[in-house]
């Protein structure tokens, strides 16, 4: 089985030595997505806008491979403050269709670029 790096201009460029996503067989491993607008490279403000942007970025990567948010198997949500959980969860439940993927949500001390949220995901083809 060969691995293949996935890159789309419709999602932010990786800010380090990693790929936006990697395909291995019938699985797509999506790197943590920050709330950065791909066209400007700027981060949106506030947990609601940031969560929506992260989902826009995830969706762009999935669409580049002919997939959608319905193909998610597992997500990991990183929050800089667990007080943002309710707002994040409300948007998550609207954007991700049921049956919902397995999920972990953790609070971290700090995220890159001082983002409020980052989400990584695993999807299937």
* 2-58 tens-digit pLDDT: 999 999 999 999 989 999 999 999 999 999 999 999 999 999 999 999 999 999 999
According to the model, what pLDDT value does residue 118 have? Answer: 98
Separation of alpha carbons 71 and 85, rounded Å: 23
Q: How far is CA 3 from CA 22, 102, 117, 120, in A?
A: 7, 24, 28, 18
- Of 108, 95, 103, nearest to 120 by C-alpha is 103
Residue 5: predicted pLDDT: 97
Query: What percent of the chain clears pLDDT 70, i.e. is strictly above it?
Result: 100
- Interval 63-118: pLDDT, tens: 999 999 999 999 999 999 999 999 999 999 999 999 999 999 999 999 999 999 99
pLDDT at residue 15, as a whole number: 87
Question: Residue 83: left if φ>0, alpha if ψ -120 to 50, beta else—which one?
Answer: alpha
Q: Whole-angstrom distance between the N-terminal and C-terminal Cα of the chain?
A: 15
Q: What domains are defined for the chain?
A: 3-124 (3.30.1330.40)
């Amino acid at each position: 089985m060969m691995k293949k790096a996935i890159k789309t201009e419709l999602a932010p460029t990786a800010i380090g030595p990693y790929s936006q996503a990697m395909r291995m067989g019938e699985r797509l491993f999506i790197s943590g997505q920050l709330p950065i607008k791909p066209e400007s490279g700027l981060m949106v403000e506030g947990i609601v806008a940031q969560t929506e942007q992260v989902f826009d970025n995830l969706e762009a990567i999935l669409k580049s491979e002919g997939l959608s948010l319905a193909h998610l198997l597992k997500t990991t949500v990183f929050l800089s403050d667990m007080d943002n959980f309710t707002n994040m969860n409300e948007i998550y439940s609207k954007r991700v269709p049921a049956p919902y993927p397995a999920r972990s949500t953790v609070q971290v001390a700090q995220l890159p670029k001082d983002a409020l949220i980052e989400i990584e995901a695993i999807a299937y083809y």
